[in-house]
Structure 1
Amino acid sequence: MKIVIIGGTGLIGAKTAERLRKHGHEVIAASPNTGVNTITGKGLADVLTGAEVVVDLANSPSFEDKAVLEFFQTSGRNLFAAEKAASVKHHVALSIIGTDRLPDSGYLRAKVTQEKIIRESGIPYTIVRSTQFFEFLRGIAQEGTVGDTARLSTGYLQPIASDDVADFVTDAALASPVNGVVEISGPERLRLCDFVARYLKATGDTRTVIADPEARYFGTRLQDGSLVSDNHPRIGRVGFDEWFAAQPKK
């Protein structure tokens, strides 16, 4: 089976491509670097010829509110036009748990728009909504840092290893479309401030973490359950300690 991964050279894309190839499928990792651009439409028709499944892992190069919205709108329109012309049978997209609960976030509003375009495309689909990756913990810490102090939300976090994300995306690509949402999470749930403090301690970072219910998470205030799922998510196998132990040491 021919499977095209849009954003196939990124973190999740490369891992997913490797897994699908091991299953014996023809996998095309498509990105602007390989001559496929969902914004301009360049290369889409050729790369989708004969494809049965498209996995969309593309992300906006800018997180500015207007830019990210325009990215997902334009990319979605171009991609689905090409998929219809190629008679693609299944569209898989990676999204984020909490997209519909945090309207103050311009990025998550754009992901809601992306999901709406997918639902209305007429192509059978599976949306995989994930919690944050362990790889994002450093950036979350940095976002809340002033000087030697990181002031962080008390909302809950249940991060997941990118390897587990790739496993779940692979499973979705090889399964029948659900025409709905599959949610995935890591195995451990802690308050965001506590998870980041754990990460900083593991890295030897001496920043002080202050738990603040009013602290903004990339511009939006979190409720306890904003970024986690209690809707029977599929749970990854890799916990924080195992993930951290496997990271390259500088």
Structure 2
Amino acid sequence: MRIAVAGGTGWVGKLVVEQARAAGHDVVVMSRSTGVDLITGSGLDEALRGVEVVIDVANVETLSRKVAIEWFEKETGHLLAAEEKAGVRHHVVLSIVGVDRVDSGYYAGKRRQEELALAGPIPVTILRATQFHEFAAQMIARVPGPVKVVPTMVTRPVAAADVAAELVRLAEGPAQGLGAEIAGPEVLKMGDMMKRIAKGKLVLTLPLPDAASRAMAHGGLLPTGDFRQGEITFDKWAATR
């Protein structure tokens, strides 16, 4: 099968590309470094020639509601239009568990992406995943100084490698719409995860008063129904960093 990976040079995208190639698929990597601009649509028509399935893991790092919504509207709109022209038969999207229950600016953009994909011309599968194990390391890197302050956040972290494998598995099958969620094997607090890997640094967990933070602290990021469970625990992931 010929599969295109939107955002295929990002840290999640690279894992998806690796998993898809290991499964024997012909993979097209779509990113600006490969001549494809998802925001302008430049290079999409050529990249999607002969592609049967698109896995979209492209992302923008922002806390701004306006920026997130505009970015995902442009990215998803260009991608779906080009897929329809190319005859793509399945569009697979990576989203987030709790995106419909936690009203943050970035999550508003992801909700808009889901809406566009579900209403679009290509049969779609949306996989909602919990926070990656890698998110704890990213949080440490983003906060300057020896003291790392993190809001109270309860999650069921999952390895990005497990998510990549599930995206490829879903791409190989029929479209499912808003499909099952994927989460890790254990419920953890983000502050505790950071403490396990923040060598020589102090991690402080603080409850924040805004609605999004309260939701994150009280289970808003946890799966609520049936979900596919990843195999790699946080400690096993941390041991191989």
Same fold (TM over 0.5): yes
Q: Shift of the alpha carbon at 1:165?
A: 1.2
Residues 129-148 of structure 1 deviation map (CA, whole Å, 9 limit, x = unaligned): 11111111033356678863
- Report the equivalent of 2:40: 40
- Report the equivalent of 1:185: 183
What root-mean-square deviation, in Å, do the aligned CA atoms of Structure 1 and Structure 2 show? 2.2
Pairing 1:125–2:134 present = no
| Aligned counterparts, 1:157-196, within 5 A | 157-196=155-194
Bigger mean CA deviation after superposition, 184-193 or 111-120: 184-193
Tell me the number of residue pairs that the alignment of Structure 1 and Structure 2 aligns: 240
Bigger mean CA deviation after superposition, 220-229 or 84-93: 220-229
Residues 101-160 of structure 1 deviation map (CA, whole Å, 9 limit, x = unaligned): 112x1100010000000000031111111111111103335667886363531x421111
Distance 1:146 1:45, change over 3 A: same
> Could you tell me which amino acid in structure 2 is paired with residue 115 of structure 1?
E
Residues 195-214 of structure 1 deviation map (CA, whole Å, 9 limit, x = unaligned): 333333xxx2340434x443
CA distance in 1, matches of 2:89, 2:183: 27
Distance 1:232 1:3, change over 3 A: same
Is the 8 Å Cα contact of residues 17 and 27 (structure 1) preserved in structure 2? yes
**Unmatched segments (≥5 aa) in structure 2:** none
CA distance in 2, matches of 1:233, 1:77: 29
CA distance in 2, matches of 1:152, 1:45: 43
**Unmatched segments (≥5 aa) in structure 1:** none
Distance 1:57 1:110, change over 3 A: same
Distance 1:59 1:151, change over 3 A: closer
- Sequence identity, in percent? 36
Is the 8 Å Cα contact of residues 142 and 150 (structure 1) preserved in structure 2? no
Bigger mean CA deviation after superposition, 60-69 or 186-195: 60-69
- Report the equivalent of 1:228: 222
TM-score (norm 1): 0.88
Residues 65-101 of structure 1 deviation map (CA, whole Å, 9 limit, x = unaligned): 3222111001111111111111111000101111111
- Report the equivalent of 1:207: 202
